[in-house]
Every structure is written in C-alpha cells, then in structure tokens.
Amino acid sequence: MTPTTTIALIRHGQTPWNAEFRIQGRTDIPLNDTGRKQAQDAATTLGEGWHAIATSPLTRAAETARIIAAELGLDSPTAVEHLVERDYGRAEGLGAGEELESVRIPGGFQEAEPEVEVAARGLLALEHLRDTHPGHRVIAVAHGSFIRLTIASLFEFDAPRIGNASVTVLTHDESGWELQTVNGEPARGLAARTD
C-alpha cells in the first residue's frame, strides 16, 4: 500500500510588481512588506504537522518559504529548480496596455515558455517531492502561473487565478493524485489517476 503524501503548493507573497499588475515571470523581484505579512498568514493557515519545505529558487518564493519555515519551526527550505515560474519572454515587466499587446501572440507572448512545458515541469516537480518525501506532508513555495498551469493540466479543469500566499493542497496515494483545495477553497474531489 502506497502511503499518502500531501503537498501544499503556496504562491509567494506579494511583490512590488504584483502590486503594479506587472508580469514577473523569471524576473527576480523581492517581496514587499505586504508579501512578508502574507507569508506569515500562510504559515498560520497551514498550521503544524509539516515535515519539510521546498521552494522555487527565485527570491520572492525563497523569502516566502524562509518566513513560513521560521513560523512553523521547519528546517531551511530546499531549492527545487522545477518550481521556478514560467518564463514570460518579452512580456516580463509589462503591465496591461499597448506595449504588452505588441508582444502577444496566439497562446501567449513572444519568446515565452509554452504552457504545456510549464505543466510538464510542474508534474516533474510534484513527482520529485512525492518521491523524496513519501508519506510525508511537504510545503512547496512556487508561483501563480506555475501552480495554475500544473493543476489545470493534471486535473483537466479550468483552474482559477492563484492568489498571493494562497494554499493549494494535493495528495498522492495508490490511486494517484487528488486535489483537495485551490486557493484555500475545497476542490470538490478532482482526481487524476495518472499512475
């Protein structure tokens, strides 16, 4: 019998670019004070009983993870490259308007990482965390588009926008993956039998 592994995907806290509605992607923007408070609130939402924490290597995720780890008494976060945000190519740094529209192409933006590649990378990240921490409860701090595209692909549904410092929980057992919550709200039993 396969033990149940629980993974909580947390989007990093707010950054100045989030507050300005600018696309971040791989651009390495730190948290603002609101984001740091959101990270503390996420730790309170998660509560006790977690075994490990992983993070995207980008500063905003790593700082969120360090705050959560300190609040919950966990060891320092482990960086997992696959958790990094989607590369938005020429759209990074842009907000809504003519300049953003000038780099838009069908299915995304010029020079951006394709959504299917982000989703495939997301599944690799989930499998890595499951295989590294079988039967444990693991927190993974990542990014909005990364989380949304990963769960949308895995569970074949139109996933909502992922809020800053929100909690999305998946479990894995002998039946496969099951989505428990999205943005802290019940996911109503979406399951993917992928094993």
CATH number for 5-192 (one of 3.30.1360.30, 3.90.550.60, 1.10.760.10, 3.40.50.1240): it is 3.40.50.1240
Give pLDDT tens digits for 10-26: 999 999 999 999 999 99
Q: What pLDDT digit, counting tens, does each position of 92-101 carry?
A: 999 999 999 9
14 is in an annotated binding site: yes
pLDDT in tens, 115-137: 999 999 999 999 999 999 999 99
The question of whether 85 is a catalytic residue gets the answer yes
Contacts with 134 (C-beta within 8 Å, 6 or more apart), sequence order? 2, 3, 5
What is the pTM for the complete model shown? 0.96
**pLDDT at residue 189 above 80?**
no
Q: What burial class does residue 188 get, using C-beta atoms within 10 Å of its C-beta: 0-12 exposed, 13-18 middle, 19+ buried?
A: exposed
> What sign results for the dihedral spanned by CA atoms 68, 70, 72, 77?
positive
Average pLDDT, the chain: 96
Counting every residue, how long is the chain? 195
> Catalytic pick from 63, 82, 85, 172?
85
Q: Give Cα separations from 101 to 39, 95, 97, 172, 187 (angstroms).
A: 32, 10, 6, 40, 33
Q: Is 38 annotated as a binding residue?
A: no
CA atoms of 47 and 182, how far apart (whole Å): 17
pLDDT score at 62? 98
**Residue 13 annotated as binding site:** yes
Over range 55-80, report the average pLDDT. 98
**Binding site annotation covers 11?**
yes
- 163 annotated among ligand-binding-site residues: no
40 carries a ligand binding annotation: no
Active site residue 12: yes
Catalytic residue among 12, 82, 143, 172: 12
The domain limits of the chain are: 5-192
